[in-house]
Structure 1
Amino acid sequence: MLTKADDFPIHQTPDPIAFSGTDRNFYDRYFFNGTTTDGEVFFGAAMGIYPHLNIIDAAFSVRIADRQFNLHASRHLHMERMDTHVGPIRVEVIEPLQRLRVLVDENEFGISADLTFRGRHFPLEEPRTVRRNGPRIVQDVTRLTQLGRWSGWIRQGDLTITMEEATTPGTRDRSWGVRHVGMRDPQPPATPLEFQAYWFWLPAQFDDRIVHFYINEDGEGKSWNVGMVMIRDDGSIQHIRDARISPEFVPGTRFPRSATVTARDDEGGVWRIEVETGRRFFLTGLGYMNPDWSHGLNKGPLAVGYDEIATDDIVQHEAPYQHSQAFAPVRLTFPDGHVQAGFGSLESIIMGRHVPSGFTTMFAVP
């Protein structure tokens, strides 16, 4: 089947662009977040395309003080992957790899927005991540990450919030490949791996550079996907080695209250990022682990929904709130002892065993 994308010179196989290999879990995704530097407003947007499910969905969410407002939308894709609008939500690429726009039209739920992201550096291509569950691929993903600044506005009810680049840092990523989407597989592989997740993601911005850190660990605490990259405003890139994170958890939960990231450069110098967390932003508002708006579900030809979260009331580490980001003031200590302050967002999801943290079962806390 030919679609609009076939008129662009972007083919990777002899197939039309509508066909993406044979794995039903193939996806192609936008993700955005931003925060005001006072921590009072935190917003996120996401859009996912699932060619083999013929579904596209999107969400826009904003936390204002202690309340999070979540708008969800889903529709049938009709195999047109260039049509990036879902109900009131759409994404526009203004300047590829540099400027993108997120728009939310006026709707019955009272959330609307017109926001433009401008990248601070050329996007970072993370190493391809491959993960198997026995014989089956469960993750085969390429991701680009870019930190930048936002301008525009968000409207919630009668309140309009103006975003200015000087006070609204943020991050976007684009990922594509294979990971679970849609309904659960009725027959997983025999003798499957234990279900377990330990993930931290920290993009942070400073006066003259950005730092991006991420890590996955297995239940024994062995890292299988980890990186830390520093990009200066002059365009120079430095990969920092042996990156590790030491979180301190809110008592009785798996939510990080603070964390320290350490790593070494090629000369042996030690870099350290100290992270404090503010109010949390729950990614269920963007569909992650959301039982009603999980990524790739078939909600019919077009569906739009809405919910709210009183964020300060979520004090237990329970479904569907295990996956969160938090406004994060940060301090970067250079090998020579020099310190820079900045802002970032700390994402985490911890489920199942993680021996170094004292987590022995799926949801137990020390």
Structure 2
Amino acid sequence: MRKPLQFKSTKPNVSIFDVAELAGLSTASVSRVINSPDSTKEKTRIAVQNAVRQLGYIPNGAARALSSRNSKVIGAIIPTIDNSIFAQGIQALQSYLMGKGYYLLLGSSNYDPDQEFDLCRNFLVQQVAGIIMMGDTHHPECVNMLAREETPFVNTGTYSQDGAHCVGFDNAKAASRATRYLLDLGHTEFAMIAGVTKFNDRAINRVNGVKDELARSGVSLDESRIIERPYEIDAGGSALKELMRQPAPPTAIICGNDVLATGAILAAAREGINIPDDVSIIGFDDLVISRHLSPALTTIQIPTEEMWCRAADMLLDLLKGKDGPSAVEIDFSLIVRESTAPPRP
């Protein structure tokens, strides 16, 4: 069982967050007591004053700025900077925010909810106005902290009408679309090179989308044909070789993203495996490299830039108190290129 994260700061300097934690209040309430004690309830004022004395906290201008909620900084947390799909989205987000008079503070969680929690806490110390995060697999204490600090956040890269505000797409539906295309070509022997599903709801939903679509057509997918790998080219290549060396190799391989699919195509060329004659390969994301591979990669295209910019719009509307949809679904499309074909007789 995961050990609950502690809110207590390990920094030598006491912050307003430490005072709020000890007093059991939000930082906004602490700031009101510090700046306008006569306008606060006695119980709240006493709790804050006791915490201030106990911790030796010295109020400063930064703490007062936090209470004004006038920050022009937006935080964004992505899983990694190694994947160009995230770099593309962040570049679009930064440009879009600057056009709106806001600035971007960026962090990378390495698909680790604990690191994401630490980044969120540090972002709050830096007085971000709001945060955009990938997916909906967050540490529960992270979500609780943002709620307690009254800091809005928006999930992107995923879509659900239940839960937090989000702008994204249905990963299971997109994976199902790729699977249906291969089924319609006549394939019945499938495999999947998936991303690591631990702490990654997008990877989990893509695996489930493939399984569900195959099940609807009466096609089974043995667990030995689902290989999880980190989103790296070499990892995609090693998974391809492992699958094609099985006694009954698949005729169609669905990859969790284009990075894995790129590795699979490059490895196939080295191994003398012909794509798509020996095996069809389909990716996910439509990276720029996908159209320049030989053969060019069939993939699911996601309008990444639009997704991040619309997530920014949703967050800015929340900051302004505007009413709007809590979930926005982004369309995806199947881009058919040279890496897929009907199976050979």
For the aligned pair, the TM-score class normalised by the smaller chain equals under 0.3
Q: TM-score, normalised by structure 1?
A: 0.25
Structure that is richer in helix per residue: 2
Normalised to the residue count of structure 2, the TM-score between the two structures is 0.26
Structure with greater strand percent: 1
Structure number with bigger Rg: 2
